Structure 1
């Protein structure tokens, strides 16, 4: 039996897992979340509607892209890995974790804006894509009604992620800046850190493939404005080696070096995402202070499957945090999952030698994001039974 990946092609996070499986040449079958098995077995096991979910040949179910990738990288299927997603050098490893976090969380505003604010160009395409989410026995009328309900929820989530009439022009300008910076880097390197994909590439592919390269409007934008990014997306979705632009051996940049083009991308993260994650950590710590009796290994809420701080099931749900972003005051929903990705970066750096830790800090300092290495919630976010939960109180 092959691996089975449950996740729609239009889904942002399934794209991260799908890209990883393809790049590693791992045999798998794409299965729609509307399938009977997903509805009857996967959903009850996940305690909420969420994708992607990977089913192993043995029948185990793994949810979340981090856990899916680590099933191969650090779990029982390491023999299937072609090129590890985890670099072995300290600066490259930290960069990988940084862009894993930034890809899935820091580029979500343009991903959601370009999907949900272009009805004339997108609506028929999106309806067709999202039909794969719904049980296969539904009539077309029932599918249309389900899409109307689901899309209304996602449009609300888009606003809660900071996409408003005031912010849209800035979002579009910022995304063009990102495309320029990434294009400049790809002129010399096949992937983020050299000649094969690493964790940061898999983080970035999530929004850049499933939303921004498949949806009609941003796809044309990328093809016209940033064809190098478009070709990176195409090779991230392919199993075959790629030597059309570079004939480098499939190795990473030598000596843990960080080219100027990559430092420029890190500085973009500082401007684009640091104010938001700082505000989210501050908001979460206030909430934790107000809720000191949360039982460890729970989310402290009536709904154990809630994704937002304080409740709510979708993107942008829960408590809202305000912050200054590119000259605007915006607010976005606080999702504890983001702290899990931040912890992965910090944990990786903490395991390095003191000398290597200083190298990483110096690099992050140069990029204006050293603060990320020290931003922490007063309780760690952990994963238990495919859910995000709060760990025990940390010692003072």
Structure 2
């Protein structure tokens, strides 16, 4: 049988999420790069240049890490589902999927692009190897210049600036310390095997923050248990190190205090931004009353952003790009919170996340044809 094909890049944040999941499920797959001759036809089929993309043995094309995970789950190929059966575990894990992919973009972009003295040679070689293997001289510099130029521009769109840089570093090290304390006692977020939250967190924590030279040394020299978790997430084996007797999740739908502490960090770090983005989106939707359901409301169906929103973050007034995709992930968290009932309400209050279920966009975000689209107006 023809194996799955994963199109991505070694240094890609969102490829890491899909790759880790495929490895853990022991799916037969081959990873390839955008220089592959088939890539132009794939981008044409999905309507934009974006990774990761999974091509199934049947020829079906699936774009997006969450969609790739759900495809494998739906086909019954998962060895251990990414989605916990117990309601609190499921809701908490989905929260970390959202935060991993969307809430850690500032440190991911800062540590990749603001330390050229240490990172640049590695990044140049890595990017060119994926985009145009074998390129030399001026061509090599042009390929990297175009790719890095786009990413450096995106860095600013996520709130990275000379003014915010010291705060980003302090905030990130606080996060690593909290996560390190948790992984000192538990090999994965919820016990003996990874769940969807682990796959969300590996997205920034492997390719940007454990693989790029400068941040990798921070993690390896000061936050060993996070580094060891990164290794575990990229191995088919559990690699439990004797920290956990088996591969079960924490008993009785329990959430240890070490993980509640990380949830409190998520509340402080990400809720102001998420709240500002929902408010902006609702104003934007109100300004587009004739938006047709099933579209993104923009001239280009592949456009990911609808604008920027300003908010207060750790003493800075910053402006970041608003992308409906994160509302799609947020809705998954909110649905799981509703299913979890009173136990989750109490946990959210303890973690400072009580407002999360109230952040509702006037239209639901859906995915159709590997693109984000708006659903019907919820307000009639």
TM-score tier (shorter): over 0.9
Contact 1:54 1:63 in 2 (8 A): yes
Under a length normalisation based on structure 2, what TM-score does the superposition of the two structures give? 0.97
Structure 2 partner of 1:377: 361
Alignment partner of 1:345 is 2:333 = yes
Superposed CA RMSD: 1.3
Alignment partner of 1:44 is 2:44 = yes
**Secondary structure, in 3 states, of the residue corresponding to 2:341?**
helix
**Secondary structure, in 3 states, of the residue corresponding to 1:294?**
coil
Structure 2 partner of 1:365: 349
Structure 2 partner of 1:293: 290
Aligned equivalents of 2:207, 2:51: Cα separation in 1: 13
Aligned equivalents of 1:67, 1:83: Cα separation in 2: 17
Distance 1:140 1:383, change over 3 A: farther
Structure 1 partner of 2:18: 17
Shift, 1:38, TM fit? 1.1
Deviates more, 1:145-154 or 1:384-393: 145-154
Structure 1 partner of 2:312: 324
Deviates more, 1:145-154 or 1:240-249: 240-249
Structure 2 partner of 1:239: 236
**Secondary structure, in 3 states, of the residue corresponding to 1:362?**
helix
- Residue from 90, 93, 107 that aligns with 1:96: 93
Aligned equivalents of 1:37, 1:136: Cα separation in 2: 15
Gaps of 5+ in 2: none
| 1:22-57 Cα deviation digits (max 9, x unpaired) | 111111111011110112x21101111100000111
Structure 2 partner of 1:68: 68
- The equivalences for 1:194-343 within 5 A come to 194-309=191-306, 319-343=307-331
Alignment partner of 1:179 is 2:176 = yes
- Residue from 160, 176, 198 that aligns with 2:157: 160
Shift, 1:138, TM fit? 6.1
Shift, 1:151, TM fit? 1.1
Contact 1:108 1:207 in 2 (8 A): yes
Under a length normalisation based on structure 1, what TM-score does the superposition of the two structures give? 0.93
Structure 2 partner of 1:388: 372
Structure 2 partner of 1:120: 117
Shift, 1:299, TM fit? 0.7
**Secondary structure, in 3 states, of the residue corresponding to 1:320?**
strand
- Residue from 82, 87, 91 that aligns with 1:85: 82
Shift, 1:136, TM fit? 5.5
Aligned equivalents of 1:170, 1:137: Cα separation in 2: 39
Shift, 1:132, TM fit? 3.9
**Secondary structure, in 3 states, of the residue corresponding to 2:310?**
strand
Aligned equivalents of 1:90, 1:250: Cα separation in 2: 19
Gaps of 5+ in 1: 310-318
**Secondary structure, in 3 states, of the residue corresponding to 1:365?**
helix
Aligned equivalents of 1:176, 1:149: Cα separation in 2: 31
Contact 1:336 1:381 in 2 (8 A): yes
Structure 1 partner of 2:29: 28
Contact 1:35 1:136 in 2 (8 A): no
Shift, 1:139, TM fit? 6.1
**Secondary structure, in 3 states, of the residue corresponding to 1:211?**
coil
Shift, 1:114, TM fit? 0.4
**Secondary structure, in 3 states, of the residue corresponding to 1:340?**
helix
Structure 1 partner of 2:166: 169
Deviates more, 1:147-156 or 1:206-215: 147-156
Distance 1:247 1:194, change over 3 A: closer
Deviates more, 1:191-200 or 1:140-149: 140-149
Structure 2 partner of 1:313: none
Aligned equivalents of 2:283, 2:256: Cα separation in 1: 39
Shift, 1:15, TM fit? 0.1
Aligned equivalents of 2:351, 2:244: Cα separation in 1: 29
Aligned equivalents of 2:27, 2:118: Cα separation in 1: 35
Aligned equivalents of 2:185, 2:136: Cα separation in 1: 51
Contact 1:33 1:132 in 2 (8 A): no
Aligned equivalents of 2:61, 2:93: Cα separation in 1: 26
Structure 1 consecutive aligned stretches of length 4 or more whose deviation exceeds 4 Å: 135-140
